[in-house]
Amino acid sequence: MSTSESAPRTDNSPISKTDEEWRRELTPEEYYVLRQAGTERPFTGEYHDSHAQGVYQCRACGHELFTSNEKFDSHCGWPSFWAPLAEERVRYIKDNTLGMQRVEVRCARCDSHLGHVFEGEGYGTPTDQRYCINSVSMKLVPAPEPAPTD
């Protein structure tokens, strides 16, 4: 390959788009949550009570973030996971808004807001963490159906 050619884009390559591009590609609700760090109403999201198997991707860029293996029922109104697919899939930002000290979780690839992570709540998960993620921030890619055995 010559030096004038660009390197192939990998799954972890950062995505940078203008605000106008994001507004064109996302619905108003997706834009509000993903790009303006909003929060969907509790118990209204598509995945808050889902037990489907698969991989949860960032709705904005398709980056794989969580799997159903780490999802658990926290009954908080939003999908909850005890760990991301891999630490490098997400990034963390201190969030002192609304008079609280929280840790915001963002997609490491496109910097979209996903939700927050909380520690020490006693859910009995392997990490004692709860990634409280907005359904609208993700899309579930269902696991393939097992092949029938004859």
The number of C-alpha atoms within 13 Å of 74 and in the hemisphere containing its C-beta is: 27
User: What gap in Å lies between CA 97 and CA 21, rounded to an integer?
Assistant: 27
Of the candidates 77, 79, 78, 76, the one whose C-alpha atom is nearest the C-alpha of residue 66 is 79
Determine whether 58 is an active site residue.
no
The number of C-alpha atoms within 13 Å of 50 and in the hemisphere containing its C-beta is: 26
Taking the mean position of all CA atoms in its chain, how far away is CA 102?
16
Query: What's phi and psi for 40, nearest 5 deg?
Result: -75, 155
CB-CB neighbours of 139 under 10 Å: 16
Task: Tell me which residues are annotated as active site.
Answer: 132
